[in-house]
A and B are shown apart, each in its own frame.
Chain A
Amino acid sequence: MPTDSGPCPYELVGGGFGMQRLKWSERIGQSLNAIVLGLLAVAMFFPLYYVFVVSFTDPGEYLQKKIVLFPQRWSAEAYTYLLSTPAFARSLGNSAFLATVGTVCSLAVSSSLAYALSQKRFYFRKVLMFLIVLTILFSPGIIPNYLLVRELGLINNIWALILPALANGWTVLLMKNFFDSLPAEISEAASIDGCSAIRTWYTIVLPLSMPALAAFGLFFAVGYWNQFFAALLYLNDSAKWPIQVLLQNMLLNASNIDLVAPGQQVETPPTEMLKMAAIIVAIMPVLVVYPFIQKHFAKGAMVGSVKG
């Protein structure tokens, strides 16, 4: 991360004799600062820890104690129950579809446009860039978008969550900035060798941009996985719901109607535990890709916020 790779101002004082040069009041300040930040991190982490721990507690123990900060008997019962319910498993599948297919489509559409716009010989690039920036500044609002999706006959179609989200002004802008930073000679040389723009984009520029594409892709994937409102608007059929809408129904509307395990008469784990297990399952994919995002995100997040 750039924040760390930059020269650390305190390296000089950090080791060896340096420490001794600090006044005792400053050392107290240092420790106090470290403690306060540590407490902050603990406070931010605690909700996730609590939900994780309770979801893995033995149902009997949870019902008896109500407050579990560290279980004596672990159990994955809530998970086995939850994952055996068709509704939950199906919504996970829907979200996985969104996060994979959607991300690939988004990357293709956004990067092709951004690369084309980064080429100086593109005739209408100024006008197009202006029109793209305009979409960032002005949004027509929920209803016109809803009516468009309805006119296109996409209601109750999972593509209603992908097509309107294929690209957005910010991403195209950031990607164009990135392609601008690649040496122009690459595209020129390819063009002189008779390589078409499409082939240059696909066989030369994209492979060269893999790290950046990975970062953009991860952001797209997290965005699709977390997509909630569009799904609420466009999908009435609960069989097509992504995980976030199912979660909303489970956690906030307290409807467990769909969450019935088939066949055998299993004892239902406490609702609270099911909710917590559902949260953990829903954030698991994000937690898995998080280290990779973290490696990249500072780059991605920085390009737009601070230029140069």
Chain B
Amino acid sequence: MSVTEQHFSTHKGRQTSSKRNRRTKWLSALRRDRSLYLLALPGILFFLVFKYIPMWGIVIAFQDYSPFRGIQGSEWVGLQHFTTLFANPDFALLFRNTLAISLLNLILFFPFPILISLGLNELRNVTYKRLIQTVIYMPHFLSWVIIAGLTLLLFAKGTGLVNELFALWGWPRVDILTNPDSFWIMVTLQAMWKEAGWGTIVFLAAMASVDTQLYEAARMDGAGRLRQIWHITLPAIRSVIIVLLILRLGDIMEVGFEQIFLMYNGAVSEVAEVFDTYVYRTGIEQGDFSYSTAVGLFKSVVGLVLVVVANRLVKRMGQEGVY
């Protein structure tokens, strides 16, 4: 054996042994802590089956999927469903409705918890403050079915309380629930009723961490309450506001599906159809699995891109992102 050959073979030997080493390393780790991996097994299986198999199921968006032929037997059609979607006049409608609801949410809903928490932070009576918190957090725990039901009971044209009162005062009855003009604002107000109180938690926590000496000092310097809010409280929660705002922008494709699904009716379909409800209608109701999966995939991909960009922005501003 020549020197070079010898050299070569030892080199090769080292390579395979290091490979084997790595393999035996995790194998021995598995063997050593068998109990630990066994403990993680149900959870891992769960994520594999219920989170990753559906991800593989996305391939039917590129097929003409038929439940009888299965994924293996179905015909591949490439991007056909996506071109159908983009050419469909419904597409612009879905986009418009999603953006409109998100935008209203951003303008009306987003500042609301900030205002409430500023107010709560100024309350001196701790019992009173806690009472108000208890009341305004509660709707967060109610289901959308209940909230939709409450809305109907209060605002229905025939028997709703508001319309009964209007009738009593001799005003004309108004129909809020089947009026396309008021649908967007109605779902925004509903969402505010449900989540605005809950949304204060994160701001109140940021306010609670402010050093009380700052307020002391400001008062010594003659700053009134409003100036203290402006110069101490608001700067203290500024970073939280910015992070939440950016994340909200990243979530623009997400409009409360259950809520809109429940408030949906024929009279408002023009303004109420969003991506998720459309997927439900075309996929589950009409059985067009491939097309609806393509629509859902489009929404998820746009959502993913937005969230990743938003998170990068948050990090660039020196804040900790969500992941």
Contact = CB atoms under 8 A, between A and B. Distances in A.
Answer whether A and B are interacting partners: yes
Given A34-B128, A40-B116, A167-B47, A67 B144 contact: no
Contact of B283 (A135, A143, A307): A143
A44 B135 contact: yes
Contact of A140 (B36, B144, B300): B300
Contacts of A104: none
A143 to B, nearest CB: 4
A251 B151 CA distance: 10
Nearest to A36: B119
Most A-side CB within 10 Å, residue of B54, B125, B161: B54
A47 B148 contact: no
Contacts of B43: 109-110, 112-114, 116, 167, 172
A133 B322 CA distance: 10
Given A121-B33, A298-B201, A146 B145 contact: no
Given A121-B36, A248-B145, A44 B283 contact: no
Contact of B205 (A37, A119, A306): A306
Given A44-B139, A112-B42, A286-B142, A145 B54 contact: yes
B161 A50 contact: yes
B104 interface: no
Interface residues of B, number: 105
Contacts of A244: 143, 145
Given A67-B164, A290-B141, A229 B258 contact: yes
B262 to A, nearest CB: 6
Contacts of B42: 108-109, 112-113
B208 A2 contact: yes
A290 B141 CA distance: 8
Given A40-B116, A167-B47, A272-B159, A138 B39 contact: no
Main secondary structure of the interface of A (DSSP, over half): helix
A7 B128 CA distance: 17
Interface string A159-199: 00001101101001000000000000000000000001111
Given A109-B42, A140-B296, A40 B136 contact: yes
A207 interface: no
Interface stretch (A79-87, A209-217, A259-267, A276-284): A276-284
Given A112-B42, A226-B143, A272 B153 contact: yes
Query: On chain A, which size bracket covers the interface?
Result: 35 or more
Contacts of B77: none
B146 A2 contact: no
B292 A143 contact: yes
A101 interface: no
Interface stretch (B9-17, B89-97, B210-218): B210-218
Interface in B177-226: 193, 197-198, 201-202, 204-210, 212, 215-216, 224-226
Most B-side CB within 10 Å, residue of A137, A141, A222, A305: A141
21 contacts: A9-B212, A25-B224, A37-B119, A37-B120, A121-B36, A123-B26, A128-B44, A197-B35, A198-B36, A226-B144, A228-B145, A229-B257, A247-B146, A251-B148, A252-B262, A272-B159, A283-B146, A290-B141, A301-B202, A305-B201, A306-B205
Given A26-B224, A34-B128, A131-B47, 18 more contacts: A2-B208, A12-B212, A30-B124, A36-B119, A37-B120, A41-B136, A109-B43, A124-B26, A141-B54, A141-B296, A146-B283, A172-B43, A197-B35, A229-B261, A248-B148, A252-B149, A293-B141, A306-B240
